[in-house]
A and B are shown apart, each in its own frame.
Chain A
Amino acid sequence: QVQLVQSGAEVKKPGASVKVSCKASGYTFTSYGISWVRQAPGQGLEWMGWISAYNGNTNYAQKLQGRVTMTTDTSTSTAYMELRSLRSDDTAVYYCARSIYGDHDYWGQGTLVTVSS
């Protein structure tokens, strides 16, 4: 069965960076992409970007350009999302989701990132 297992919760200070992992299993990793979606406390869903696990091509939300980097390691079927220069409004649950044309059919369990001084 398809599973996406994310890394654990993080607490970071403003200005720091965070790197969240998403380990995939149960399917051919390179046949799909991975989207990252975040959800601030009590808020809705915000799409952050997408990476092809086949060739590493990326598309990032404009508002995060320059601060976010998405990568994959095909040897371990793991996707990563790094967010730099963290601010308090980056506090959110970060989700990875398998995606090929925007159909996010399987989701990770979420990773809470708290940015606080």
Chain B
Amino acid sequence: DIVMTQTPLSLSVTPGQPASISCKSSQSLLHSDGKTYLYWYLQKPGQSPQLLIYEVSNRFSGVPDRFSGSGSGTDFTLKISRVEAEDVGVYYCMQSIQLPYTFGQGTKLEIK
């Protein structure tokens, strides 16, 4: 199975400041079709996960542009340009290039 490793596991950020989460995969997520199957999800407290970013860098419908994704191969980053109170929760990366799909351990974001 592909192992997804996120760092840090927790993050405390002052509103208005940036935040960054790293996700590394044990194998390349670049498919022969040219796409890279790396996703980012946010699970707000008491809610179901929600899709933020698909295929490394594409924001899902309705996701604010303060969220951005980047990376390639095995190294990926989710950045929040200016953290807001509503961004609290646990962020997960996930790969779908190989079965079984696997998630990172999660990164808990809290507001200072």
A interface, CB within 8 angstroms of B: 35, 37, 44-47, 49-50, 59, 61-62, 95, 97, 101-110
| Cα(A35)–Cα(B48), bound, Å | 14
A44 is contacted by which of B51, B99, B101, B103 (Cβ under 8 Å)? B103
Closest 6 pairs (CB-CB, A-B): A102-B96, A107-B48, A47-B101, A45-B103, A61-B100, A103-B54
**Does B76 lie at the interface of the complex (its beta carbon under 8 Å from any beta carbon of A)?**
no
Interface Cβ pair total, 8 Å cutoff: 59
**Does B106 lie at the interface of the complex (its beta carbon under 8 Å from any beta carbon of A)?**
yes
Given A44-B92, A47-B100: A104 touches B105 (CB 8 Å cut-off) = no
A104 is contacted by which of B51, B55, B104, B106 (Cβ under 8 Å)? B51
Q: How many residues of B contact A (CB 8 A)?
A: 25
Determine if B103 and A47 form an interchain contact, defined as CB atoms under 8 angstroms apart.
yes
B interface, CB within 8 angstroms of A: 37, 39, 41, 43, 48-51, 54-55, 60, 90, 92, 94-97, 99-106
Determine if B51 and A105 form an interchain contact, defined as CB atoms under 8 angstroms apart.
yes
| Cα(A59)–Cα(B54), bound, Å | 21
The residues of A that contact B102 with a CB separation of less than 8 Å are: 47
| Cα(A106)–Cα(B50), bound, Å | 7
The residues of A that contact B101 with a CB separation of less than 8 Å are: 35, 47, 50, 102
Given A35-B101, A59-B99, A62-B100: A103 touches B49 (CB 8 Å cut-off) = no
Residue of B nearest to A37 (CB): B49
| Cα(A62)–Cα(B103), bound, Å | 15
29 A-B pairs whose Cβ atoms sit less than 8 Å apart in the complex = A35-B101, A37-B49, A44-B90, A44-B92, A44-B104, A45-B49, A45-B103, A45-B106, A46-B103, A47-B94, A47-B100, A47-B101, A47-B102, A49-B100, A59-B99, A62-B100, A95-B48, A101-B96, A102-B39, A102-B96, A103-B39, A103-B54, A104-B39, A104-B51, A104-B94, A105-B51, A107-B48, A107-B49, A109-B48
